[in-house]
Structures are given as structure tokens and as C-alpha cells.
Amino acid sequence: MHHDFWHQRWQEGRIGFHQARVTPLLERHWDATGAPAGSQVFVPLAGKTLDMAWLAARGHRVLGVELSGLAIDQFFEEHGLVPERRKSRFGTHYSAGSIELLCGDVFGLDAAALAGCGAVFDRAALIALPAELRGRYLGELYALLPAGCRGLMITLEYPPDEMEGPPFPVVETEVRAGLEREWRVQVLERREISEAERESRFAEEGVTALSTVAYALQRRQASGS
């Protein structure tokens, strides 16, 4: 997706992907990832998700990366925080307490930018990307995270011909193909979302089956280990 697409969504307030509560699968499964206490958690395509505040309240440091400065401003304003700002080659960094949000392109990061991240939480990043970018995202971005990094990834599965994303459907075989060379991948939960629970768009598009899947991830210490 082009950057302008996401900037326009935020400017127009078309942010149906933003949840008004903490992700239930995060609350239910974060401990199962074994993410070290106090570790820094990388949150790609962060938006203004409440999940970052939840992770910070659990004692983690948070590094979120988001294209939209508007989303970042809204996050800090809604949490009553006044961030300090600094610039780097990656973009503008906004920091308050244990939360740092980087306004920049996630594909512009390098290993040095993520070297301090002992964990990753991916709820709305992978499924926000079309197929031609997902392979690059899994193959390049996740390769930047350090050995031993642990995380939680949440995806959606639905018949791909029934709706034009985002969010896009991402099946287990795609997750494993993109990550298993360097990551251990474990399905923690696969749950069908009933028609009554689905967001209106899925109903409007006539999606006949919808499931959410939570994966525990662990970066291998060395290739093949």
C-alpha cells in the first residue's frame, strides 16, 4: 500500500482497524510468549493502539513505528502525555515514559534500530499489507530482530475472494513459509469469529467464514537451532 493511502485514512478518520479496547488475544496469550520482563517490545504499524499502553503498564518498554504523525499525536493526547521529540535517520521519535513512537517507514529500519527489542507484537501490521509486501515484510523486517526475540502475532483468515483488504487474510502456511527458517512458530489459538461478533464491513462484504489466529514466535539463536 502506498504511504498516501494510510495518511488519507487517518486524515479522514477511516480507522476501522483501531480498537477501542486492548486486544483480548494479547491479554490472553502474552505471557505464553515468554517475553522477558522489562524488555522492549517492537510494535510495527502501531497506529494509536491501546495495546501499547497495556504493554507499558506490564513493565515493558515500547517501540512503536507508525507512518502517520496524526496517529502518534492522538495516542499521546488521549493518554495525557506530552512527548519529547528528536530526529534520527529513521524519522522523528516521540518519547514519554516507557513509550517511544517513531514516525517513519517500517521498511526503512535496520538491525541497529531494533537491536534492543527483546519482543515483538504484531496485530494489525502483517494483515494490513497486500501479498506483494507481506513476503518482504516477513523476510526482511523480522530478520532485523535480534536472536532470542519473542513475540505474539495475530492474523485473520477468510476466503480471499470474498473481500478486498485491508485487512487481508493471511493463512498459517504463509506465516510459516515467511518465518520458520529463522523463527519458531507455534499456534496458540485459532478461533472462529461468529457473525454476531464480526465488524460491519465483513458482513457488508458477505464474508462467509472468519477466524483469528494467535501465534507465539521465537527468533532462533542460530540458523537451524
What's the pLDDT tens digit per position in 20-41?
A: 789 999 999 999 999 999 999 9
**To the nearest whole number, what is the mean pLDDT of the chain?**
91
Establish whether 54 is an annotated binding residue.
Answer: no
Q: What is the pLDDT of residue 17?
A: 58
Task: Indicate if the pLDDT at residue 132 is higher than 70.
Answer: yes
- Written as one string, the DSSP assignment of the chain is --HHHHHHHHHTT--TT--SS--HHHHHHGGGGTPPTT-EEEEET-TT-HHHHHHHHTT-EEEEEES-HHHHHHHHHHTT---EEEEETTEEEEEETTEEEEES-GGG--HHHHTTEEEEEESSSGGGS-HHHHHHIIIIIGGGSPTT-EEEEEEEE--GGG---SSPP--HHHHHHHHTTTEEEEEEEEEEPPTTTS-HHHHHHT----EEEEEEEEE-SSTT-
Establish whether 10 is an annotated binding residue.
Answer: yes
> Per-residue confidence at 225, pLDDT binned at 50, 70, 90?
very low
Out of 3.90.1150.10, 3.40.1380.20, 3.40.50.150, 3.40.605.10, the CATH code matching 3-219 is: 3.40.50.150
Establish whether 174 is an annotated binding residue.
Answer: no
Establish whether 66 is an annotated binding residue.
Answer: yes
